[in-house]
Amino acid sequence: MTPTVKIFSGTESRYFAEKVAAAYGTTLGDLTIQRFSDGEVSVHFNESVRGCEVFLIQSTFPPADNLMELMLLVDAARRASAHKVIVVMPYYGYARQDRKDKPRVSIGAKVMANAIQSVGADRLMTCDLHAGQIQGFFDIPVDHLDGSAIFVPYLRSLNLGQDLIFASPDVGGVVRTRSFAKVFGVEMVVCDKHRKRANEIASMQVIGDVEGMDVVLVDDLVDTAGTITKAAELLKAKGAKSVRAIATHGVLSGPAYERIENSVLEELVISDTIPLKHESSKIKVLTFSDLFARAISNVVTHDSISSLFI
């Protein structure tokens, strides 16, 4: 007998979870999330989840409260005798803290993995991690969805032709950028940057030729937009005909909106894993809800997740 599938959402991801549930062909399950006067969170499922495959959708933005809420939901589902508890985290916070790059620092991505597993999650589903190796921090299955399944059709609709070239805004994003270039059969360049400190770039240079080309910058997330806008400016100065950017997670904090609006970017294309705080004429949002709905369906039916990739 196939277990019943129930999809629930944390507070901040409800806007996305409703679209995922609709694409899957159901509605969100009924739960109550309360906050005491001091901010402490209490969760309660208002319907039985006994023997069900429970999918809990919650990203981390900002991370602390949402992660705690998610862990309480996992614990509640586990204690209510759910058959399986699958965490669906479209945006995995702390992913940039994935290694010890200097002495005496924490590895935040590993702490997140420990927290999710410690409360009894059976599986994690996420998308476009900052570094794919973060999957190795888990001892449970991780379904790492690839946003190119949504971005590639959009880029094809632009008909940029043979003048198209892809650019990585830093050396760390070369593998991600090369995968796009390979799909389109075009070349790629790299913007090599040096940071003074987090969120502050000291210098940047372009490795490769972009003269007369339509450049697409590829990244996993945009936070303060300093890197992406500086890279776009540099590419334009090197003779690029146009520069646009795609990034899965629009964190967009601090001066990000102002920087994007005042930049030379034609557009910034992001997903809806994180909601926009402000509207912008230069920001286009593509929904990942269908991708996650198909992935949930494949998990339930034990079909391949990689079949969803390009």
In 104-187 the beta strands, taken as DSSP E runs, fall at: 123-127, 142-145, 164-168
Of 43, 9, 269, 71, which Cα lies nearest the Cα of 157?
A: 269
Hey, what amino acid is at 103? P
Please, what's the largest Cα pairwise distance for the chain?
62
Measure the CA–CA gap between 147 and 206, rounded to whole angstroms: 25
For 192, counting Cβ atoms within 10 Å of its Cβ (0-12 exposed, 13-18 middle, 19+ buried), the class is: middle
- Residues designated catalytic: 193
Q: Which residue has the tokens 């945006």?
A: 91
For 217, counting Cβ atoms within 10 Å of its Cβ (0-12 exposed, 13-18 middle, 19+ buried), the class is: buried
Measure the CA–CA gap between 306 and 310, rounded to whole angstroms: 9
Distances (CA, A) of 54 to 87, 109, 139: 8, 24, 19
In 46-187 the beta strands, taken as DSSP E runs, fall at: 53-57, 84-89, 123-127, 142-145, 164-168
